[in-house]
Amino acid sequence: MSVFRWDRETVAHLGRRAAFGARREEVDYFYALGPDKTLDFLLNDEQVPNDQMEQALAVQPFDLSTYQGIVQWWLFRMVHTWRPLEEKMTLFWHGHFTSAMSKVQNTTMMLNQNQLLRRHALGNFRNLSLDIYKDPAMLLWLDNATNRVGKPNENFARELMELFTMGVGNYTEQDVREVARAFTGHTIDRTTGTYLFRSSWHDYGTKTVLGQTGNWDGDDIINLLVPREATGRFMARKFLKMFVYEDPEPALIDALARVYFESSYSVKAMMTWILTSDAFYSDRARGALVRNPTELVVNTIRTLEVRSDFSPFVSRLNSMGQALFNPPDVEGFDGGMAWINTSTLLQRVNMVNDLAGNRTTTGAYIDLAALIGGRTFQSVEEGIDWLLETMGIYGLSPAKKAPLILYVSDGAAGLSYENLMDRKGRGLIHLVATLPDYHTA
């Protein structure tokens, strides 16, 4: 692979993009492991046992019949998983193949969809597309559960082409009508809440889609859409916007689209290409993306070793603009700079400040003594560097570091454990959370 440099700052960058941030000890471990073995760990996660996390999750007292309970369940997974890229891709697909509790109104269906996305996280895009259209939450969300011959519902057909595969401008209104006919009869059993094909509801007539004519069914439509050139470019651009930078060059999109086709639509192949590309490790890419609220929350919990049952973060995510399992519409969450406005930025900083300011052992809190672990630093700057790296920030410029040094310094030559823990530590955590670097990836 071609990497600009392999150092701890690079490992931290990789951790922010392919995971939810990396703890100091993880950065040290992967730095020593080297790039090839680190990427093997991330990309070939089927080799990584996750049993310990699954067993711990199974005994958590989360009420999965409630919205709060399923959000707690997923946050626990993201914080404790040994397969971080699997969870990161599950979050990506959640924003791509959207469904929302606001309409589905069934936590079991939403959890089952989440597990479906996880099973296909680094799998094959065709297979994921074939499964998602039969998913009960999706059938309800986009009204295909009521799609029947003579009364076609076009919602799923339109979004399948516009948002899930080809993108705007690559199909006609007649294509939408014909695709809707192909998906008639694919519904749910209202008694069990499971997928059901009702043959009496299906339109068995001839349909013409994108210039091709046949007695098309749902599977046939997926097999028509997935190989389209527009789909390859649409998905390549979306992956690059999520993992590299917001406005990828046409040549970069073309290169990743070639991987899409040459690998027969393998997500793992596309992610391997991204995570070994010069563009991913370039100076332009580093710090170029705004962390979404989930990334921010999970990174904070992991790096600061927050003690919590995750319940306080359900409303926090909502106030920051990313209610898990409940995107605002079929387009999902806006992302990018849309995550940052006067209200949400305050919510993001206050989330960390409230954690740092909680000196009790109730709710969500930081055990600062355990986090610092009795360390004594030779200078104020050394102590600040330690906390910055603990919070996932490497290579902060002297200009940005100066206010932190000014805050901590009180004439002491060194920074003792007691000074950092009792006098300055919690305020310093809050100040770090106000830095733009804490909100970017």
pLDDT at 40 over 90: yes
Nearest to 327 by CA among 92, 94, 13, 112: 94
Q: What is the pLDDT of residues 46-97, one digit of tens each?
A: 999 999 999 999 999 999 999 999 999 999 999 999 999 999 999 999 999 9
Query: Region 147-166: what's the mean pLDDT?
Result: 97
Whether pLDDT at 277 is above 70: yes
In a domain, 212, yes or no: yes
At residue 174, the pLDDT reads 98
- Does residue 8 sit within a domain? no
Cβ within 8 Å of residue 174, ≥6 positions away: 208
Can you read off the two tokens belonging to residue 354?
Answer: 């409230």
Say which DSSP state 291 is in: P
The sign of the dihedral angle between the CA atoms of 99, 104, 107, 112 is: negative
Q: What is the pLDDT of residue 375?
A: 84
User: In this structure, what token pair is assigned to residue 30?
Assistant: 């992967």
Closest to 227 (Cα-Cα) out of 125, 98, 93: 125
Please count the residues of the chain. Answer: 441
How far apart are the C-alpha atoms of 164 and 9, rounded to whole Å?
35
* CA distances, 85 to each of 47, 110, 127, 136, 365 (Å): 13, 21, 19, 26, 26
Confirm if 359 and 100 have CB atoms less than 8 A apart.
no
DSSP state letters, 107-175: HHHHHHHHHHHHHTTTSBHHHHHHHHTT-HHHHHHTTGGG-BTTB---HHHHHIIIIISS-TTSS-HHH
Structural domain for 389, as ranges: 369-439
**pLDDT, position 318:** 96
DSSP per-residue string spanning 309-345: -STHHHHHHHHHT--TT--SSTT----GGGG-SHHHH
What pLDDT shows up at residue 415? 64
Which of these ranges, 58-72, 198-212, 362-376, has the smallest mean pLDDT?
362-376
Tokens of 61: 């007292």
**What per-residue confidence (pLDDT) applies to 3?**
52
Beta-strand pair 306-307/212-214: unpaired
What is the pLDDT at residue 419?
A: 65
Of the ranges 277-281, 297-301, 413-417, which one carries the lowest mean pLDDT score?
Answer: 413-417
The predicted pLDDT at position 379 comes to 82
* 395 in any annotated domain: yes
For the cut 60, the answer to whether the pLDDT of residue 122 exceeds it is yes
Q: What is the pTM of this model?
A: 0.96
DSSP 290: B
Asked if residue 214 is part of any domain, the answer here is: yes
Mark which of 165, 192, 225 sits at the end of a domain.
225
Out of 168-177, 265-274, 330-339, which region has the weakest mean confidence (pLDDT)? Answer: 330-339
Domain final residue, candidates 174, 200, 225: 225
Residue 345 counted as domain residue: no
What pLDDT score does 408 carry?
85
Q: Number of folded domains in the chain?
A: 2
- Mean pLDDT, range 426-431, rounded to an integer: 93
The whole-number average pLDDT for the span 164-177 is 98
397 assigned to some structural domain: yes
Secondary structure of residue 21 in the 3-state scheme = coil
pLDDT bucket at 374, cuts 50 / 70 / 90: confident
Tell me whether residue 221 is exposed, middle or buried, using C-beta atoms within 10 angstroms of its C-beta: 0 to 12, 13 to 18, 19 or more: buried
The per-residue pLDDT for 317 is 97
Q: Burial code of 389-406, b = ≥16 C-beta within 10 A, e = fewer? A: bbbbbbebeeeebeebee
Q: How far apart are CA 215 and CA 77, in angstroms?
A: 43
| DSSP secondary structure, 219-236, as one string | HHHHHHHTT-HHHHHHHH
In a domain, 288, yes or no: no
In this prediction, residue 407 carries a pLDDT of 87
Q: What is the pLDDT of residues 376-417, one digit of tens each?
A: 888 888 889 999 999 999 999 999 999 998 888 865 555 666
Q: Residue written as tokens 């003594």?
A: 369
Distance separating alpha carbons of residues 93 and 114, to the nearest angstrom: 9
C-alpha span between 9 and 238 (Å, rounded): 25
Query: Taking all residues of the chain, what is their mean pLDDT, rounded to a whole number?
Result: 95
Write the CA distances from 263 to 4, 76, 237, 385, integer angstroms: 26, 33, 17, 43
Give the pLDDT mean for 173-183: 98
CA angle 300, 350, 383 (to 5 degrees): 55
Tens of pLDDT, residues 308-351: 999 999 999 999 999 999 999 999 998 899 999 999 999 999 99
Q: Is the pLDDT of residue 200 over 90?
A: yes
- Which residues is 195 bridged to in the sheet? 188
Boundary (domain end) residue, out of 198, 225, 252: 225
Closest CA to 324 of 93, 121, 122: 93
Phi–psi pair at 189, nearest 5 degrees: -80, 115
Among residues 312, 356, 301, 311, the alpha carbon closest in space to that of 80 is found at 301
Q: Mean pLDDT throughout 370-379?
A: 86
Residue 150 lies in a domain: yes
Decide which of 6 and 410 is more confident.
Answer: 6
Select from 157, 142, 73 the least CA-distant residue to 108. 73
Retrieve residue 336's tokens.
């990018």
